[in-house]
Amino acid sequence: MTTTVVSVDAQDKKNLGMEDVNKVIDNTLDSLDKVRQSRIAPGLSRKEGRPVLFLIGNSTMRNGTKGNGNNGQWGWGYFAEDYFNKNMISVENQALGGMSSRTFYTRLWPDIQKAIKPGDWVIISIGHNDNGPFDEGRARATIKGIGDDSLMVTIKETGVKETVYTHGEYLRRYIRETRAKGGNPVLMSLTPRNAWEDGRVQRVDKTFGLWAKQVAEQMNVPFIDLNDITATKFEKFGEHKMSYHFFGDKIHTSKFGAVVNAQSAAEGIAACKDPQIQFLQSCLVNVKPRTVDVKRKKGKPVVFITGDSTVKNNDNDKDGMWGWGSQAAIAFDTTKITPANCAKAGRSCRTYMNEGRWDEVYNSIQPGDYVLIQFGHNDIGPIDSQKERGEIATAKDTCHVYQRQSDGKYEVVYSFGWYLKKFIEDTREKGGTPILVSLTPRNEWTDGKIERRKEYMDWYAEVAKETGVTLIDVHNISADFLDKKGQKKAKAYYCKDHTHTSLLGAKMNAESIKKGLKNSDSDLKKYLKK
C-alpha cells in the first residue's frame, strides 16, 4: 500500500476533511462511497454552495458504525442519495446506530446544527431506541408522548445530570433549531418492523408515528408516513417475501429492505401536498420504477425472457454469436403474444438482480403475462473475486456475507436456487406465470456424447418441485438433438467457443423451447406457433 501526500495552499486547508467520530478523515469531497460508509463531518459534502440534505436517525437509517453492510444489515440512508439530483443537492446520512431522539440530540446534533445553512434540509426519522432506562446503561429513553413533561436524572455510571424530555419535545427542538439556521425540517415516521398482526404489518400509528404526525401539525412541518408506505408494500409481498427484507432480526433491514425504505421515502416526498416541500420534490430522481420497453396491445400478453448470452447476444451478424431469444418467433405466435427478450450477456441470477434488470421485468409484469427464467452458465464460479457473479452452489435456501475483492464492499450472496425461487415468487406476486428453463448444453463431448450438466439439472428439478413451477428441459432436449447430429456436425451450432451458439444453434434452442412447452402442462403452449 502506498500513501500519497498532497500539499495545499493555506486558503484550501479549510476544505480538508475533518476526523469524524469513527476516526475517519474524508478528503475526497465527491466520494459518494466514503460519504455513505462513514459519518463525515457535517456539511462536508456541500458543493458549490448547493444545499445539503441531512438525515437524522438510528440503525434503520445507518446500520453499524460505518454503515457498510458488513453484518448483512443496511440502513435506508445509504441508498437515499440515489433518489436525489446530485447537481441540485447533496445527501448526508448523519444517522448512527443505537441513537434515540434524546442521545442523538445531545451527542451528535450540535455539530450538525452548526453545519446547517439557509436552504438546507433536515429529515428526522428517529425513535426505535427511545426506550429502556432513563439513568443507566445506554440511558437513552425519552418520556412517551409529545407533552411538555421533563425529568431530571443523574446517570448512575457517570454522575452526569441531564434533563430528559418527551419524544415530541426532542422533535420540536430539532425543528426549532433547524429553522433558526434557515433550514427546512421534515418529519418522517419510523420504518416498520417484521411484525404481523391479524394479517397486517404492525404500524406505529398509535405511538411514534402518531406523535411525529402531531408534532408536524403543531409545528407546521411536512410529514411523511414512511411507516405506512413501506408496511403497505410489505403486505402486498406477504410474510415470506417480507422476511428476507430483514437480516438477523425483525428490526434491521437487509439491502432489499433498505432499498424499499429509501424508495418509500422518495415516494412519500413526491406525494406530499405540503407546499413547503416543493424544492425538495424538484430534486427527486428515479422515483418512478424502471420498466421494460415493450409495446403492449390490449388482450395480448407478454412473455418476458430472462437469462444470459445464450438467450441474448449480439444477434446481428449472420456469422456471429446469437441467443435463442432473438429467434423467439420460431416458438411463439407473435400475433397472440409479445416476446420481450430481457436477457443480458454475462449475467448470473445474482448480477441480473443486482444491476436492476430483474426489477425492470418485475415492474413490467401484468396479470396474464409469462416469465421464462433461464440462468446457470455464469452462476457457479468465484463469489468474491474475479467477475464476482457466482452464487452458493445449491438449490437450498442459504446465504452468506462476502466482501468483494474488487471494491471492498460487502454483499449478502444467496444460493442459485434461492435466486430462482425469488424470481418465481416475484412473478406470481404480480399475477404472472413463471416458467423455469434449464440452461443450454455446451459443445463439450465425452465418449461420443455431448455434455450433460446433471448438477444444474438436479437444482432446477429441486426448485421446480418445491415451487410447483413448470420446468422446460431445454438442456436435454437440445442435447438429444445434438447427440443425433454427432460431434462433427454439432460444431455448426456453436460460434467461437463451446458455450455461445451460432444463428443455427439459436434456432435449435428456440425449437427446443417450443418442443418442451408443447409437451408441458403450461397454458403458455396455447401461444405456440402452429
pLDDT at 31 over 70: no
Give percent of the chain above pLDDT 70.
Answer: 93
For the segment 212-256, what is each residue's pLDDT rounded down to a tens digit? 999 999 999 999 999 999 999 999 999 999 999 999 999 999 999
For the segment 109-158, what is each residue's pLDDT rounded down to a tens digit? 999 999 999 999 999 999 999 999 999 999 999 999 999 999 999 999 99
Mean pLDDT confidence for 95-121: 96
pLDDT at 4 over 80: no
The DSSP element (H or E) to which 151 belongs, if any, is strand 150-154
| β-strand pairing of 150-154 with 161-165 | antiparallel
Q: Report the pLDDT value the prediction gives residue 35, as an integer from 0 to 100.
A: 56
Q: State the Cα angle at 269 between 267 and 274, rounded to 5°.
A: 135
Calpha distance 319→321 (Å, rounded): 7
Among 437, 441, 440, CA closest to 464? 437
End-to-end alpha carbon distance in the chain: 65
Residue 118 makes CB contacts below 8 A (sequence gap 6+) with 181, 182, 183
- Residue 39 — pLDDT band, cuts 50, 70, 90? confident
Do 395 and 459 meet the contact criterion of CB atoms below 8 Å apart? yes
Mean pLDDT confidence for 350-366: 98
Residue ranges per structural domain of the chain: 19-282, 302-527
Domains 19-282 and 302-527 agree in fold: yes
Calpha distance 339→527 (Å, rounded): 11
For the segment 402-423, what is each residue's pLDDT rounded down to a tens digit? 999 999 999 999 999 999 999 9
Predicted TM-score of the model (pTM): 0.91
Calpha distance 370→150 (Å, rounded): 60
- Cell (9 digits) for 127: 425513535
pLDDT at 13 over 80: no
Do 327 and 514 meet the contact criterion of CB atoms below 8 Å apart? no
**CA pseudo-torsion sign 425, 427, 430, 431:** negative
Q: State the Cα angle at 71 between 78 and 241, rounded to 5°.
A: 75
Q: Report the pLDDT value the prediction gives residue 27, as an integer from 0 to 100.
A: 41
- Cell (9 digits) for 285: 430522481
For the segment 162-199, what is each residue's pLDDT rounded down to a tens digit? 999 999 999 999 999 999 999 999 999 999 999 999 99
pLDDT at 1 over 90: no
| Alpha-carbon distance values, 501 to 66, 314, 483, 497 (Å) | 46, 11, 16, 8
CATH architecture of 19-282: 3-Layer(aba) Sandwich (3.40)
pLDDT at 21 over 50: no
- Residue 64 — pLDDT band, cuts 50, 70, 90? confident
The CATH number of domain 302-527 is 3.30.70.20: no
For the segment 288-297, what is each residue's pLDDT rounded down to a tens digit? 999 999 999 9
Q: Report the pLDDT value the prediction gives residue 32, as an integer from 0 to 100.
A: 53
pLDDT at 491 over 90: yes
- Residue 9 — pLDDT band, cuts 50, 70, 90? very low
Calpha distance 32→36 (Å, rounded): 6
Q: Report the pLDDT value the prediction gives residue 40, as an integer from 0 to 100.
A: 86
